[in-house]
Amino acid sequence: MCGETHWSAARETSRQSSKLDEEGVEVAVCRHGFLLKGLNMYRGEIFAYPMFLQKSLQSAKFLAMDVTCRYVPYMNKVSEALTHLKPLQEMRHCLSVMHAKAHNTKCEILWSARNQEGVGTTLGEEVEQINSYLSRCALTTKYMAKSVRIDMLTVHAMGWNQRKEDGLHIALSSRFKKTVEKTCEVF
């Protein structure tokens, strides 16, 4: 619960174990939209999955996610008990710009990416773009054997990254141009 909103997205533990082999995919994405790491979810959306991804990407400075206000207290509690996870507390957390609007005002002010120094103009919605793309790909692999399905999703993920790499020069120059224009407007 955050304000008037009930979140079903993530929780500390799953209410029940899944009768399915897997329930979805959790991914970590950089601010440029490259898929860095992914994992199969077997217990629904629980905090252990983003914690695993955060631990494997400790060199990052920020972590944007849609339930930051609930994840950070959990992560702090767990890292106090498991001292090898203490470095996770050094990473700064923020809510993606769109998801911040769904949280209560206090949450939005505290965690919104727009209010975090150093985040820049990152929207934090890059994961949503990849989830949308991969869900369309998953529909085409729905009736394939599990091992073939995983291989096909991997191929699609690699294709996503290749397209991102091919268009990176255009995306970065466009962002630079917008930043220069905004800077000139201020001065």
Question: For 77-99, what is each residue's pLDDT tens digit?
Answer: 999 999 999 999 999 988 887 77
The pLDDT of residue 89 is: 92
Distance CA 153, CA 37 (A): 13
Do residues 72 and 93 lie in contact, with contact meaning Cβ atoms separated by under 8 Å?
Answer: yes
Write out pLDDT tens, residues 136-152: 887 777 777 777 877 88
Distance CA 141, CA 144 (A): 5
The pLDDT of residue 60 is: 87
Do residues 85 and 55 lie in contact, with contact meaning Cβ atoms separated by under 8 Å?
Answer: yes
Q: Is the pLDDT of residue 1 over 80?
A: no
The pLDDT of residue 6 is: 57
3-28 average pLDDT score = 61
Q: For residue 134, what pLDDT band results from cuts at 50, 70 and 90?
A: confident
The pLDDT of residue 125 is: 80
- Name all contacts of 115-119 with Cβ < 8 Å and 24+ positions apart: 116/62, 116/92, 118/61, 118/62, 118/92, 119/62, 119/64, 119/94
Q: For residue 177, what pLDDT band results from cuts at 50, 70 and 90?
A: very high
Q: Is residue 13 part of a domain?
A: no
Q: Is residue 1 part of a domain?
A: no
Write out pLDDT tens, residues 17-76: 544 445 688 889 988 889 999 888 888 888 999 999 999 988 888 888 888 889 999 999
Tell me which of 1 and 183 has the higher pLDDT.
Answer: 183
The pLDDT of residue 98 is: 76
Tokens standing for residue 2: 């955050």
Do residues 165 and 35 lie in contact, with contact meaning Cβ atoms separated by under 8 Å?
Answer: no
Side-chain-side CA neighbours of residue 182 (13 Å) = 8
Q: What is the DSSP letter of 115?
A: G
Distance CA 75, CA 47 (A): 8
Read off the pTM: 0.74
> Domain range for residue 114?
24-186
Q: Distance between terminal CA atoms of the chain?
A: 42
168-172 average pLDDT score = 93
The pLDDT of residue 11 is: 56
Q: Is residue 81 part of a domain?
A: yes
Strand partners, 163: none
Tokens standing for residue 168: 């990176």
For the chain, the domain total comes to 1
Q: Is residue 163 part of a domain?
A: yes
The pLDDT of residue 44 is: 81
